[in-house]
């Protein structure tokens, strides 16, 4: 019996969308008791963007997807599947991916959401790429999109200064042998779930006067504990994806970590012995956009020419679940 060799799968188009409204640390000072100094020193964040009243996760996901399709020289008709990674879907159901499928008029596309917190984009890449590897699908849109501003407690300074809204999208397709996704690592620790959660609004605590009064419809986070987890897991996860690819960190040109906190990013770089010049950072401009942070950073670095064809990029994220995920890609420019 002959075995068919897996196809090489990579990113063949990329786009991002960040809403227009920029909110600086000074603006946050008017909302909660905080300071530009505290936020800058502890997190590296200077600014974040929030959606407009009439802008929803599916809208910004659609904008990013349109840009990715254009970049790939494809139309919505070409797309076989849409996967949206989000922790802030428009609704519990239907999925945000189905709303995007309708917005794009992607007639033949299947669609589903994937929930893995800030690791969602990496989980989605790993999952979606299998459909192309096996030959079932040809082109897949993977989108990380979040409107965290809608679910932030603006009376809680521990969380509301950290997050921002945005979306990043890629089109996955076949690439020449030796390019594209070379290694993947995914992990989870459900025991750490309570450290970062949105407790109410699901079936465990449906909306009630009590749940609203207790502010259970907002993001809750034990920041310190998540910080310790992130510092430990980021470097480890990146090394595991490199192991899977049969590579060392010395062979990597670029590191794209989840943009949560500059101190977490610096510790991951140190663990991988990578100088900060090789690390893509935009947490200062967008804050933590959860599943959108890695594709937005990747898009910027591709389109401003930092990442070049043939270079190796490690992307690594962590987040609610708890989850972590990493991917090694060799960039292929059409």
Binding site for ligand UT7 (CB under 6 A): 34, 38-39, 42-43, 118, 157-158, 161, 196, 221, 223-224, 226-227, 230, 260-261, 288, 290, 319
3-state secondary structure of 267: helix
CB of 159: closest distance to ligand UT7 in angstroms?
Answer: 7
Shortest separation between residue 259's beta carbon and ligand UT7, angstroms: 9
Given a contact cutoff of 8 angstroms between Cβ atoms, the answer to whether 185 and 326 are in contact is yes
What six digits make up the tokens of 185?
């690592």
Considering the complex, state which of residue 138 and residue 220 has its C-beta at the smaller distance from ligand UT7: 220
Q: Which of 118, 160, 185, 261 does the annotation list as catalytic?
A: 118
Minimum Å gap between C-beta 227 and ligand UT7 is 4
Contact of 308 with 333, CB cutoff 8 Å: yes
Of the pair 173, 319, the CB lying nearest ligand UT7 is at: 319
303 is catalytic: no
Residue 6 per-residue DSSP state: P
Q: How far is Cα 302 from Cα 311, in angstroms, rounded to an integer?
A: 11
Phi–psi pair at 271, nearest 5 degrees? -60, -35
| Minimum CB distance to ligand UT7 smaller for 156 or for 253 | 156
Q: How far is the CB of 323 from ligand UT7 (least distance, A)?
A: 10
Nearest distance from C-beta of residue 124 to ligand UT7, angstroms: 16
Q: Given the complex with ligand UT7, which of 12 and 28 has the nearer CB atom?
A: 28
Catalytic annotation, pick one of 49, 56, 185, 258: 258
Q: How many whole angstroms separate alpha carbon 62 and alpha carbon 101? A: 8
Alpha-carbon Rg for the chain, nearest whole angstrom, is 19
Q: Which is nearer to ligand UT7, 111 or 265 (CB)?
A: 265
Smallest gap from Cβ 158 to ligand UT7, in A, equals 5
- Is the CB of residue 61 less than 8 Å from the CB of residue 169? yes
Beta strand extents in the chain (DSSP E only): 9-17, 21-24, 47-50, 81-85, 110-114, 140-146, 166-174, 180-188, 196-197, 220-221, 254-257, 312-319, 323-330
For 91-105, the DSSP string reads SSSS-HHHHHHHHHT
- 328 near 242, Cβ under 8 Å? yes
Question: Nearest approach, Cβ of 298 to ligand UT7 (angstroms)?
Answer: 17
Please state, as a whole number, how many other Cβ atoms lie within 10 Å of the Cβ of residue 41.
11
Active site residue 98: no
Tell me which residue has its CB nearest to ligand UT7: 223
- Cα(106)–Cα(276) distance, integer angstroms: 40
Number of neighbouring beta carbons within 10 Å of residue 27: 14
Q: Which of 220, 90, 89, 87 is nearest to 155 (CA)?
A: 220
Catalytic residue IDs: 118, 258, 288
């Amino acid at each position: 019996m002959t075995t068919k060799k897996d196809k090489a799968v990579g990113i063949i188009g990329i786009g991002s969308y960040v809403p227009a409204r920029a909110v600086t640390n000074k603006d946050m000072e008017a909302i909660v008791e905080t300071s530009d100094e505290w936020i800058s020193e502890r997190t590296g964040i200077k600014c974040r963007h929030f959606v407009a009243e009439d802008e929803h996760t599916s809208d910004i996901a659609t904008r990013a997807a349109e840009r990715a399709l254009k970049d790939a020289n494809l139309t919505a008709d070409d797309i076989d599947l849409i996967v949206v990674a989000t922790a802030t879907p428009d609704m519990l159901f239907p999925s945000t991916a189905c709303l995007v499928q309708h917005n794009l008029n992607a007639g033949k596309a299947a669609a589903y959401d994937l929930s893995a917190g800030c690791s969602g984009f990496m989980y989605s890449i790993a999952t979606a790429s299998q459909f192309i590897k096996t030959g079932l699908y040809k082109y897949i849109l993977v989108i990380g999109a979040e409107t965290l501003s809608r679910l932030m407690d603006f009376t809680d300074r521990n969380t509301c200064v950290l997050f921002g809204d945005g979306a990043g999208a890629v089109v996955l397709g076949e690439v020449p042998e030796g390019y594209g996704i070379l290694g993947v690592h995914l992990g989870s620790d459900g025991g750490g779930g309570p450290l970062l959660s949105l407790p109410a609004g699901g079936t465990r605590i449906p909306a009630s006067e009590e749940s609203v009064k207790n502010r259970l419809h907002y993001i809750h986070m034990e920041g310190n504990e998540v910080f310790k987890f992130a510092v430990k897991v980021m470097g480890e996860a990146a090394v595991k994806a490199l192991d899977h690819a049969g590579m060392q960190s010395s062979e990597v040109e670029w590191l794209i970590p989840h943009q949560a906190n500059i101190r977490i990013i610096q510790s991951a770089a140190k663990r991988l012995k990578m100088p900060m010049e090789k690390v893509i950072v935009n947490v200062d401009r967008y804050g933590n956009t959860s599943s959108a942070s890695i594709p937005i950073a990747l898009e910027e670095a591709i389109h401003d020419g930092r990442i070049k064809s043939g270079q190796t990029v490690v992307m690594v994220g962590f987040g609610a679940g708890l989850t972590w995920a990493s991917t090694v890609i060799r960039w292929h420019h059409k």
